[in-house]
Amino acid sequence: MRQLIDQLEQQRRLTKEEWVTLIAERKDAEYLFERARAVRQKYYGNAVYTRGLIEFTNYCKNNCHYCGIRRENATAVRYRLSMEEIMDCCKQGYDLGFRTFVLQGGEDAFFTDERIIEILTKIKSVYKDCAITLSIGEKTKESYRRFFDAGADRYLLRHETADKAHYESLHPTEMSFEARKECLWNLKEIGYQVGCGFMVGSPGQKAEYLAEDMLFITELQPQMVGIGPFVPHHATPFAKEAGGTVEQTLYMLGLLRLLKPNLLLPATTALGTIDQKGREKGILAGANVVMPNLSPTTVRKKYELYDNKICTGDEAAECRNCLSNRMQSIGYELVIDRGDPKEF
């Protein structure tokens, strides 16, 4: 397996068969992580970028089978943050050293393009030195363009899986695999720093589908890739399904680092949820970003995409401190920086 790992590092692409072999056998993990750390070190040193996550609405018109805030989950307690609350999150975040704010939410019709633009304009007028990432799902190209013109720098839209049949098994029929991918291409064309991504261990996933994810990422060349384990949520159709594993997630992180050396790659909250040291392990496998929560503690528990999500009781300052200590304990350092990708 070392030979394939070396080949990936040197050529930054593999055939589908080679990906399947690596992913299915998952051998030489320690060697992979060593190479991933070396590559990451070259571009980012020991720096870990932070993004302050603001979960501003959990209303959603979609009904993804895996997601706890899906439309049909009647037990979800819905909320929206006001402009004032969002600005409070930014203020707290800025004072703590965050220079990127991620506005994430369900697909909520209340937040019209005009409202999103108003939020973007307001944040950008106060925090000129900060980047804004939007993560609010599928929109028209025109809307994406308007958000970009209003100051959005980055957009996160996980493709979830690059296999059409698998995509259809994770989503209701009104959602389409083609539409999702088209959004990502549109975002790229407009000039966003784009993030795609997938869940590791989602129901029905096979090594072959993960190989397709790697091929899709090779083709799209996104600036960011968000991956984390699938974690079942009790009030969804996938409540009884098995979750993804730490080992598989770490292995995929290592492979992604070698596939794209300057990639912005978060060690996600979901990874921290299934393993007490998940985020540290993620960084040691090649990740270079963490995304602590800035949402008011009053709503944290309500943005429940999956069960047992961590840090729902902590103040933003506690989260930043805790992560800072965790990173230091493994020889890495949270930095005060917008955290743009380094030129490759």
Give yes or no for residue 66 binding ligand SAH (CB under 6 A).
yes
Residues 2-61 that bind ligand SAH (CB under 6 A): none
* Contacts with ligand SAH, 199-238, as mask; x by CB under 6 A: x----------------------------x-xx-x-----
If one asks whether residue 272 binds ligand SAH (CB under 6 A), the answer comes out as no
Tokens standing for residue 147:
């958000």
d(CA 222, CA 188) in angstroms, rounded, equals: 8
Question: By C-alpha distance, which of 7, 28, 44, 30 is closest to 289?
Answer: 44
Query: Using CB under 6 A, which residues numbered 297 to 316 contact ligand SAH?
Result: 305-306
Binding flag, residue 320, ligand SAH (CB under 6 A) = no
User: Based on CB atoms, which residue is closest to ligand SAH, 12 or 115?
Assistant: 115
The amino acid occupying position 264 is L
How far does the chain reach from its first CA to its final CA, in angstroms?
26
158/188 with CB nearer ligand SAH? 158
Nearer to ligand SAH, 167 or 332 (CB): 167
Q: How far apart are CA 153 and CA 78, in angstroms?
A: 28
Give 47 or 157: the residue with its C-beta nearer to ligand SAH: 157
Residues that contact ligand SAH, how many (by CB under 6 A): 19
Asked whether position 160 contacts ligand SAH by CB under 6 A, the answer is yes
Rounded Cα distance between 310 and 312, Å, is 6
Tokens of 70: 């899906």
Q: Answer yes or no whether residue 253 interacts with ligand SAH by CB under 6 A.
A: no
- Judged by CB under 6 A, which of 38, 92, 137, 338 binds ligand SAH? 137
Q: How far apart are CA 334 and CA 342, in angstroms?
A: 16
Candidates 37, 65, 124, 158; binder of ligand SAH (CB under 6 A) is: 158
- Give the nearest distance from C-beta 321 to ligand SAH in angstroms: 25
Neighbouring-strand partners of residue 155: 134, 194
Q: In what order do the strands lie in the sheet with 333-334?
A: 289-290, 47-50, 333-334
Taking the complex as a whole, the smallest distance from the CB of residue 200 to ligand SAH amounts, in Å, to 9
State both tokens at 67.
């997601």
Can you say how many angstroms the Cα of residue 300 is from the centroid of all Cα atoms in its chain? Answer: 17
Q: What is the distance between the alpha carbons of residues 56 and 78, in angstroms, rounded to a whole number? A: 11
Nearer to ligand SAH (CB atom), residue 35 or residue 70: 70
The answer to whether 196 contacts ligand SAH (rule: CB under 6 A) is no
Q: Is residue 136 within 8 Å of residue 111, measured between CB atoms?
A: yes
**Which residue type occupies 156?**
L
Least CB distance to ligand SAH at residue 136 (A): 6
Binding site for ligand SAH (CB under 6 A): 66-67, 104, 106-107, 135-137, 157-158, 160, 199, 228, 230-231, 233, 270, 305-306
